[in-house]
Amino acid sequence: MLKLGEHLGVVDYFTPANQATIGAEDYDFGSGGVLLLPPQTGPYANEMIGGGKDGNLYVVNRDNLGQFNSTTNNVIQTVATTVVPAFASTPAYWNGNIYTGAVSDYLRMYTLSNGSLSLTSVSQSPTQYQFPGPTPSVSANGTTAGIVWALERDDNNSDPPTVTTPAILHAYDATNLANELYNTTQAGTRDVLGHGIKFIPPTIANGRVYVGTEGELDVLGLLP
């Protein structure tokens, strides 16, 4: 994790204490994207969250990334998950909640209080997501009516991908991921999407959801 100055020089960085071990085992940090958080209460106002293949979520102080220490992670918090290798996606934030999905795991919700992440997830989706895990997006009316959107696909981690099945768009209650509101398999062939590809976060704007698939752009909205 690097912080670059105006001339793209490195001015700060973070790497985990066990970086030699996780690098040798191909569990390197940095496989997942980084989420910048809005200002937080507590001792650190400016935070970000990211995860890697080692199965940890790291809450990092943007004003002091922590650099490297061989005995401890100089970050705000390290939260261990149960999935390794874990993150190849980017978390999302809404209303004090963090939403993130690991490889071969469920989309999970963590709470954020005074800049600290809950040590375990407080809810999870009924659907288990395969590689590379979902990169969720959130739509809401301010702090109400939150919906978490996530795309499901499965290529069995093959390279090049061999997936020939449609991606599936899921919508969950943002206050409880166990409550699935909708998915694109519920109406027969009406809402079927194109073939799934890697790293396809849904985009929400003006009451529509946009999904880029292998050979098409799918747009979903409310029925008349």
pLDDT score at 19: 86
Domain boundaries, the chain: 1-87, 88-224
Q: Whole-structure pTM over 0.85, yes or no?
A: yes
Higher pLDDT, 165 or 152: 152
Mean pLDDT confidence for 114-135: 93
Which residues have CB under 8 Å from 194's CB, separation 6+? Answer: 166, 167, 211, 213, 214, 215, 216, 218
Residue 118 has pLDDT above 80, yes or no: yes
The residue type at 36 = L
Neighbour count for residue 199 (Cβ, 10 Å)? 14
Show contacts of 40-48: CB within 8 Å, 24+ apart: 40/112, 40/114, 40/115, 41/114, 41/115, 42/114, 42/115, 42/116, 43/115, 44/76, 44/115, 45/115, 47/76, 47/115
Confidence category of residue 159, pLDDT binned at 50, 70, 90: low
Distance CA 204, CA 221 (A): 10
- Tell me the two tokens of residue 221: 């909205």
Q: Considering the chain, what is the average pLDDT of its residues? A: 90
pLDDT score at 175: 98
Backbone φ and ψ for 109, nearest 5 degrees, come out as: -115, 130
Neighbour count for residue 9 (Cβ, 10 Å)? 9
pLDDT score at 154: 65
Residue 157 has pLDDT above 70, yes or no: no
217-221 sheet: strands from edge to edge: 203-205, 208-212, 217-221
Which ranges of the chain would DSSP assign to H, the alpha helix? 19-24
Distance CA 20, CA 16 (A): 9
Pick the CATH number of 88-224 from 3.30.540.10, 2.40.128.630, 3.40.30.10, 3.40.50.150: 2.40.128.630
Higher pLDDT, 124 or 157: 124
